[in-house]
Amino acid sequence: MVVKDSVITDLNNRVKHTMAVYKWLYSISMVLHSIVICLLCYISSSQLVNITGTVLFHLGMAWTDAVVVASMTGFIYLPVILMWAFSRGNTLLTWVKVICFTGITLVTAWLAGALV
């Protein structure tokens, strides 16, 4: 009986140790995930700002006014994109949609000649 108990205790300790290690890994990976998602959201919002400025300029607005309006709307885009990105708990889905969205904005900016 004493041998059986010590095996169980040993196993339990091993599981606890692994979970503790994984818990730290999980925390670090969640932090990195959040930072990278936020960076991608920022990149997509800044491309949207460039696209907005370009479109407004081509619609006839003075270039300085177009820059001002586009920059102001950028601060609406960014929180909306961030909240959209973090609106679902599924990590993989978040990556897919944020990467797709950032790609779309980069391509659109390139097509509009606004990729700087």
Partner 1 sequence: MKTGFRFSMSALHTWAGLLLSGLLFAIFWTGTLSVFDKEIDRWMMPQTRINMDTAPKLSVDRDIVPLLNSLSESATAWSIVLPSERKPFLGLGYDTKESHIAKRNSFHPVTLDQLPASNTRGASRFIYPFHHNLTLRKSNIGAWLVGIASIGMLCLLVSGIVIHRRLFTDFFSFRVWRSFSRGNLDAHNLTGVLLFPFTLVITLSGLMIAHLIYFPKAPDAVYEQMHPQSAAHTQKTPAKEITSLRQKIDNKSKTPKAREGAGNSPARRRFIGESQGRVTPKASGEFATITSIDPLITATEEELGRGAVYMVRVSNPADAEGVIALRLSSDKSVAQNMDNRRFSVATGADLDHFESSSVTNVFNFLAGMHYVQFDHWPLRWFYFIAGLGACVLIATGLLHWTQARNQKHDGTRFSISFMNVHNLSAVMGIIVATGAFLVANRLFNNSVHFAGVLVPDLEVYVFFSVWMCCVLHGVIRVLINKRSGYIKAWGEQCWAIAFIAISAVVLNWLTTGDHLIKTLFKDTYWPVATIDLLLISSAAIAIFAARKLSANLKLNIGR
What residue ranges bind partner 1 (CB under 8 A)? 34, 46, 49-50, 53-54, 57-58, 61-72, 74-75, 78-79, 82-83, 86-89, 109, 113-116
Angle (CA) 104-98-90 rounded to 5° is 150
Estimate the share of the chain in helix, then strand, then coil, as percent rounded to the nearest 5.
85, 0, 15
Nearer to partner 1, 11 or 30 (CB): 30
Least distance in Å: CB of 18 to partner 1?
Answer: 20
Q: Dihedral angle at the C-alpha atoms of 20, 21, 25, 27, nearest 10 degrees? A: 20
Nearer to partner 1, 38 or 99 (CB): 38
Least distance in Å: CB of 59 to partner 1?
Answer: 11
The Cα 71–Cα 78 span in angstroms is: 11
Least distance in Å: CB of 69 to partner 1?
Answer: 6
